[in-house]
A and B are shown apart, each in its own frame.
Chain A
């Protein structure tokens, strides 16, 4: 069954500086299956975040339709967890209160909240930092808190918008491996936005390559290299070559058009 169906979705923004409408996403069609790990790959400014925000329900498509598990997306909902590019934790709550924030909204008592959060705090490797505030942790640790928060919601779908973009190479690699392990364990559907070809190919079970603005899906392929993925394997390099030539192709056509 299709978990996420994106049908003819177009999004135009009004650009006030130039007083005209700007097309950010142009007739995107994409069907994402249950348990897929889809990487949306594209250059910055191509409309990846816009597309993700529409799946999350933060923004409405100008035209077209997005369905998650058969129901139309109208507004944000706890069945779609979001991990933001900048970790958006509540600065006034410590880790042990930030992770189970949605349980607080549901009226679950503090003791039970903290208990249920603990296993997810352990899962992302933050045991011992329960009493720390976001300002007392590094960017990578905050990002882990954001991931634990999304996981604890136990959503059908997790949407991630370049969550590792601000991390150093070493931390990024560790987090990518950890995310894959988590996904293999809990088997939710993940839509992961990235501008890095390597990242998309390390993570995705499926890769959707977007064009420059206005964003369209240029190519979309399943990628089932066994995990953990070795970035030096020929099969990985073949896929990388394929994606890179796609991007290069597009760069020449858009230059010719310009």
Chain B
């Protein structure tokens, strides 16, 4: 029910609830990151191969072992896909929230320099926002690559490197 409401439209409410500080930003980032991860995890769990389930039960897996040894690793690629979307949208929301509700951060610097007509500051602020976003995505990609090692040979991405 809450999912179709874009996280940015929560900004006014977040400020009313949490005031002008870090907390509305944290709330927004949580909203923006939570649903992509949740939806992707659910998708990952629903699309597990039924025969994998049978294979595990044939080998005597109980429910808990089943969760940790089959469901979690099988859903990991989807969870990571969700995480990547979440990091991107979290970063977008951080900047957005800093522009409006927080008195610090690159978003604040960007908005402030626009406000005071300091165009020499606008471009560097934008570049640092882009750079930080790129770095966080790069980090999550690296983590994905090292954890999902088993996917490397079958995917297009794997064939590159």
Interface residues of A (CB under 8 A from B): 56, 58, 75-78, 80-82, 84, 86, 88-94, 101-102, 104-106, 133-136, 149, 153
Contacts and interface: CB of A to CB of B under 8 A. Distances in A.
A90 B52 contact: yes
Contacts of B65: 105
Contacts of B55: 82, 84, 88-90
Pick the most buried of B52, B59, B149, B150: most chain A CB atoms within 10 A of its CB. Answer: B59
Contacts of B59: 78, 101-102, 105, 149, 153
Interface residues of B, number: 24
Contacts of A91: 74, 150-151
A13 B57 CA distance: 22
Nearest to A59: B54
Contact of B54 (A76, A89, A102): A76
A90 B59 CA distance: 12
A99 to B, nearest CB: 11
A135 B151 contact: yes
Interface string B35-51: 00000000000000101
Interface of B is mostly: helix
What 3 pairs between A and B have smallest CB-CB spacing? Answer: A102-B59, A78-B60, A88-B51
B76 A92 contact: yes
B58 A86 contact: no
A84 B153 contact: no
A76 B153 contact: no
Interface string B56-83: 1111111001000110011010000000
B69 A88 contact: no
A220 to B, nearest CB: 26
A134 B76 CA distance: 17
B105 to A, nearest CB: 38
A56 B58 contact: yes
Nearest to A155: B58
Nearest to A53: B54
B153 A105 contact: no
B154 interface: yes
A91 to B, nearest CB: 6
A78 B59 CA distance: 5
Contacts of A106: 60
A114 B54 CA distance: 23
Pick the most buried of A104, A105, A134, A153: most chain B CB atoms within 10 A of its CB. Answer: A105
Contact of A76 (B58, B74, B148, B151): B58
Contacts of A134: 150
Contacts of B57: 58, 75-76
Given A58-B57, A88-B55, A105-B59, 20 more contacts: A56-B54, A58-B54, A75-B57, A76-B54, A78-B58, A82-B54, A84-B54, A86-B51, A88-B49, A88-B54, A90-B69, A90-B73, A91-B74, A92-B76, A101-B56, A101-B59, A105-B61, A135-B153, A135-B154, A153-B59
A104 B66 CA distance: 12
Pick the most buried of B49, B54, B55, B61: most chain A CB atoms within 10 A of its CB. Answer: B55
